[in-house]
Structure 1
């Protein structure tokens, strides 16, 4: 059973179903853009995450392996500088990302999140069965700036922004509610500090929390 988790579309970057970057308005003068700090891409930075599952008492408890994400360096792709993002946990995955005038994008031009657009849907995509042509699921994402405070083992983070994913599953017998939402919280000068996910056949919502990190100078 596969996770319907936008982590797979963002931080893990196993598969992207986001809008292409040419759908993002790029008529802004990038030389005048001042970063808001929610996309801290610097070689030598790392983030360590722990998964949590809910308990009967209403809290949560840690389980599973610890995952790490780190920036190992840069790479030139199509005359643009991308940061090499390496994720290590159950498996190792490498992706290439950059800050494109407030949009975190990958080397294919897919939008992962934005620190400047809290109005538009930054991606919307339906995945179809390659044999039957029937839809498997639909995923869309929009950013929210609701001045959230997020408390995780790594600390208390104020003024967090949220990437909220809406997933509608058509395959199999998905658990209710359907559609459901995953939430990704980004802190200024830190990056992703907490996110949620669930499995298609279960209504249980899991959390992944930042337990420690280092942002290189």
Structure 2
């Protein structure tokens, strides 16, 4: 299964690969060189397919839990001052995605979407300390009526040049459902209440829509 954000790119790449095969077959006389060039094109196409894959995830919906929004590795767990929306201290958990990870973004919790905003910005490497506030990004806040508000932020990196965000203010977020896509690697920050019980550790690998990031308390 492939993410819908990749359909046009996959189709375009397929056309290019077919055309490339035909050109190489007609223009390159050396059989070994022809084989090498065709293999390079084939590997390129496989990488594109791999990047836009969107495997089915088995989300166990639970209002107590905040799930990881993306696949990747936990690179930050710390208490920070969140200045965009909450204007107070929150627990930040950041997940870094490499180009080899699944790049679909999923809602980390159930609730009403209260805030959704796009910010143009820089393309610092995703693990840079200022990337969360200076890079191109989108910020979404979900209000769970029982356990409070949770924010997640999609952040562009040095390679990620497009962030897709489906969250619309007033709509209902369903935990584990598709909420967007980040093209070519980056990171997602989740901002939790200080009362949240974080369940992951630094450098732990997580899966979007499945791994429990934290447990919330009233």
**Interval of TM-score (by shorter of Structure 1 and Structure 2):** under 0.3
Structure with a larger share of its residues in helix: 2
Structure with a larger share of its residues in strand: 1
Using the size of structure 1 for normalisation, the TM-score is 0.26
Which structure has the greater CA radius of gyration?
2
